[in-house]
Amino acid sequence: MGYDFRSIELKWQEKWEGEGTFNADADLGREKFYCLEMFPYPSGALHMGHLRNYSIGDMLTRFLWKRGLNVLHPIGFDAFGMPAENAAIKSKTPAHKWTWDNIEYMTEQLKRMGCSYDWRRRIETCNPDYYRWTQWIFLQFLKKGLAYRKNAPVNWCESCGTVLANEQVINDGRCWRCDTPVVKRSLEQWFLRITDYAQELLDDLDNLPGWPERVKIMQRNWIGRSEGARLSFTEKRSGAVIETFTTRFDTIFGVTFLALSPEHPFVEKMCSLSPRADEIRAFVKRCATQSSIERTAVGGEKEGLFTGLDAVNPVTGEVVPILIANYILMDYGTGAIMGVPAHDQRDFEFARKYGIPVKVVIQPVDGALNAEEMDRAFEDNGIACNSGEFDGMPTAEAIPAMIEWGVKRGYCEREVNFRLRDWLISRQRYWGAPIPVVYCDDCGIVPVPEDDLPVLLPENVKFKEEGGSPLADDQEWLTTPCPRCGKPGRREADTMDTFICSSWYFFRYCSAHDDTVAFNADEANYWMPVDQYIGGIEHACLHLIYARFFTKFFADLGLSRAREPFTNLLTQGMVIKDGAKMSKSLGNVVDPNEIIKVYGADTARLFILFAAPPANDLDWSEHGVEGAHRFLNRVWRLVEENLPLLAQRGPSIPMEGLADRRLRDMKRKIHVTIQSVTQDISGEKQFNTAVARLMELLNALQAFHPEGETERSLFREGVETLLACLNPFCPHITEELWSLTGHADALAMSPWPEAEPAALEADSVTVVVQMNGKLRERVELPAGLSKEELQERVLALPSIIRRLDGTRPERVIAVPDKLVNIVVRD
RNA sequence: GCCGGGGUGGCGGAACGGUAGACGCAGCGGACUCAAAAUCCGCCGUGGGCGACCAUGUGGGGGUUCGAGUCCCCCCCCCGGCACCA
């Protein structure tokens, strides 16, 4: 029982693959559409999140092909990364073998889903043909001075045994991959100067109306622009300059101390100036042992130390003490702050603890602050006081006015600061793209010549028990002549963050196997930008920022025109079961293979698209899957039972040719379905309601029971519409039924149905009659009555006359084709 | 703390300011069957009434409106992001 989805699905999958049905080539004469889903990491097998991601993308792709667009829909594998390496350590399977086996297996799974990819373009980031160009791109960054090495306190994950970029430290200082608390280590590492693009990355968010507001806000927060001023204090004894950054230059008259980060370079110098050198060293050492979580937790204990040195306020000439404070971060602003306890809560808490004076320089509009009695800082806008010539000025005016004044007199400079930091891309791991540089004792850092790329990853490597990258110990691989002088040099042992590999793959798809360039400019200019990108929201401040950065860099190099990679972004929700994300530890994982085996790919796809709108979390329900399967069986039976009449051909009858009410309703149902399904898919991306409309159409067709030639023709039109509209959702069963009903052409490439305007017009409408806004009656009336006619006819209804019982309505509101509201005094 | 997004039947979810609960799931009743499965038909927010009906109902409280799930104000709860960023 039930239709034989197993053989049907395989049959069509083989046909699509064999014929290259969904292969797309650049064609300037055709309108293009680039539909892309985030490519998977080859972890072993697809999970439900993948199934959802690829069901959405595939449905859209098939829909757009039917609408006549030239659709690029590629797939590949984000194939470098730690799990392969861990598998190599654990099961002694080489990382490349583990990865390639998984890629082949998952490719097979994607085909069994019925995905309409252009398989010719499959890429794998661990393939030397690909990472050669990843390395080439790195060299372009290096050439432009946007890749550099620096020694800095960096994020280190003990468990992963490598450093991490700031974006990869999440959930209160934990590793994005393994959730281990991250610690700070001082190391020399490679960085990409993403901060050079901070302003553009921020500004261009305004040009992305097709992105969810949520993601744009997250990126704005992450980039964290703040406008203010940089000003220099002078250390009294040595005359040394200490720079600070403030967004509240209007509080300059309220400065009562200066505080430095323990890592501030001047701290070391202070030891030779201050009689309290020992104390300073001890304090700095103690701060260094605090974890970054302790240091940066909100409300964490603020600790400080008077250094015995003083600084001069450049504006007032006042002398204030210099302290070292654990709450000052070295990697934001200048690593030193001007302390204004009266108007900054952190400074306030710190000042109270250490007995530092509080000086009020802004009064609230409706009261007077007294420094002694304050129990917290006043951070709001108010009126300046104790601020010389600026007294009486409201904060909003005072900030720009005082900065202008300060700049003119040389006290400060305008400055914009970003929270965004340069991207740390070194990884002390094996399974990644080697950073293509050589260290030479004479020449220093020497880039590997572009012609010598790729720097191949050795395949036979030994992993050590105690961890660490095997590349660092592979003397044979490490040793190489300096490309510049030829003397023995040493390769860079670190590999690149895998987020580099995924920052440009959507360009590579455009000319996937071109071995002369990273990507062909003409092809990229035809296909890019991606028109629809689909993936999880967890990449809001990771991949989605990095990819934007790379795209802008390519544009600046003249490699492509696009300045933004993704025009429209759809962030799909998680797949959950029993109220929680599917995970092995919770034991609530549903295996896509099982679902496809038991119900078929069409059922799986249909359920996924029907169960929830794409942005919502999707609650997995076995019963729901059965419901979807039941629907497909009903579609199958409907066609099977009416096969002889459906196999006939004939023109469809226009609305004008139908007189009978039943037939006109059927015709209307068909065309209203086309209209709303089209809108749901292309407009708000409400795939669940689109499916609901198709279910309604099936219900109507099932109840129709055609008799006679006219009815049979109408029925045929209904079934063909159902199959055509359902095709992007469930491509196999619909294609099979299409061919069973005698169609020679492929449904996949046959045009999407068009709604006939005349068939959308209603003959009659149900008008709601309200009294004082409460529903009282429903009446069937001809469509298109004017307000006056409508009101007249409703007021003449016997039931309404009875209800009014002689009372004269105070007012009557009539909305044509909708309702009449009769307002009466109670 | 700040910034987002949400709270609608037993469940997933629908509703241009205009019939709340489309569609599906679960449940209940019936038909078919020796029986079960499958399938088909019907019912299905809550309270009241034999009944046509009446009242009530979209987290809570106010407001705007002829009319509010939808708009405005206040509050509660859940989810997500950021968080000592100067």
Residue A450 near residue A132 (C-beta atoms within 8 A): no
A770 closest-nt by C1' vs CA: B67
Contacts of A597 (CB under 8 A, 6+ apart): none
Q: What is the pLDDT of residues A485-535, one digit of tens each?
A: 999 999 999 999 999 999 999 999 999 999 999 999 999 999 999 999 999
Q: Give percent above pLDDT 90 in chain A.
A: 76
State yes or no: cis peptide before A128, omega within 30 of 0.
Answer: no
* pLDDT score at A200: 94
- Going from the C-alpha of A460 to that of each of A80, A82, A437, A457, A471, the distances in angstroms are 16, 17, 21, 9, 10
* pLDDT score at A68: 96
Residue A210 gets which letter from DSSP? B
Q: One-letter amino acid identity for A526?
A: Y
- The pLDDT of residue A801 is above 80: yes
Instruction: Decide: CB of A396 under 7 A of nucleic strand B.
Output: no
Mean pLDDT, residues A22-47 taken together: 96
- The pLDDT of residue A468 is above 90: no
The tokens for A461 are 């490597």
Mean pLDDT, residues A303-329 taken together: 93
* pLDDT score at A194: 95
A573 closest-nt by C1' vs CA: B80
Q: What is the pLDDT of residues A718-756, one digit of tens each?
A: 999 999 999 999 999 999 999 999 999 999 999 999 999
A248 closest-nt by C1' vs CA: B86
User: At A26, is the pLDDT very low, low, confident or very high (cuts 50, 70, 90)?
Assistant: very high
Give the CA-to-C1' distance from A350 to B30 in angstroms. Answer: 78
Coil, helix or strand for A15? helix
* pLDDT score at A695: 97
Instruction: Decide: CB of A702 under 7 A of nucleic strand B.
Output: yes
- Going from the C-alpha of A261 to that of each of A25, A267, A283, A696, the distances in angstroms are 57, 8, 11, 66
* pLDDT score at A558: 97
Instruction: Decide: CB of A329 under 7 A of nucleic strand B.
Output: yes
Residue A660 gets which letter from DSSP? S
Instruction: Decide: CB of A119 under 7 A of nucleic strand B.
Output: no
What is the torsional sign of CA A498, A500, A503, A509?
negative
A349 closest-nt by C1' vs CA: B84
Nucleotides in chain B near protein beta carbons (<7 Å): 3-5, 11-16, 18-20, 22-26, 38-41, 54-56, 66-68, 80-86
* pLDDT score at A169: 85
- Going from the C-alpha of A321 to that of each of A232, A236, A742, the distances in angstroms are 15, 10, 91
**Rounded to an integer, what distance in angstroms lies between the CA atom of residue A204 and that of residue A201?**
6
Q: What is the pLDDT of residues A194-239, one digit of tens each?
A: 999 999 999 999 999 899 988 998 899 899 999 999 999 999 989 9
Q: A259 pairs with which residues across the strands?
A: A323, A337
Q: What is the pLDDT of residues A567-582, one digit of tens each?
A: 999 999 999 887 788 8
- Taking Cα atoms as reference points, which of A610, A634, A613, A631 lies closest to residue A621? A610
A417 closest-nt by C1' vs CA: B85
Give the CA-to-C1' distance from A729 to B26 in angstroms. Answer: 25
**Rounded to an integer, what distance in angstroms lies between the CA atom of residue A767 and that of residue A780?**
6
Give the CA-to-C1' distance from A792 to B55 in angstroms. Answer: 30
* pLDDT score at A819: 93
Residue A8 near residue A736 (C-beta atoms within 8 A): yes
- The pLDDT of residue A538 is above 90: no
A778 closest-nt by C1' vs CA: B19
User: At A826, is the pLDDT very low, low, confident or very high (cuts 50, 70, 90)?
Assistant: low
Instruction: Decide: CB of A353 under 7 A of nucleic strand B.
Output: no
* pLDDT score at A330: 86
Give the CA-to-C1' distance from A630 to B42 in angstroms. Answer: 20
- Taking Cα atoms as reference points, which of A429, A435, A428 lies closest to residue A192? A435
Contacts of A362 (CB under 8 A, 6+ apart): A250, A251, A254, A342, A343, A378, A381, A382, A383, A384, A385, A395
Q: Give percent above pLDDT 70 in chain A.
A: 99
Mean pLDDT, rounded, of chain A: 93
Give the CA-to-C1' distance from A767 to B15 in angstroms. Answer: 17
What is the ipTM, given to two decimal places?
0.95
Residue A379 gets which letter from DSSP? -
Instruction: Decide: CB of A183 under 7 A of nucleic strand B.
Output: no
Give the CA-to-C1' distance from A579 to B30 in angstroms. Answer: 36
Instruction: Decide: CB of A799 under 7 A of nucleic strand B.
Output: no
User: At A331, is the pLDDT very low, low, confident or very high (cuts 50, 70, 90)?
Assistant: confident
Instruction: Decide: CB of A468 under 7 A of nucleic strand B.
Output: no
Residue A16 near residue A22 (C-beta atoms within 8 A): yes
State yes or no: cis peptide before A529, omega within 30 of 0.
Answer: yes
How many Å is the Cα radius of gyration of chain A?
34
**Rounded to an integer, what distance in angstroms lies between the CA atom of residue A353 and that of residue A355?**
6
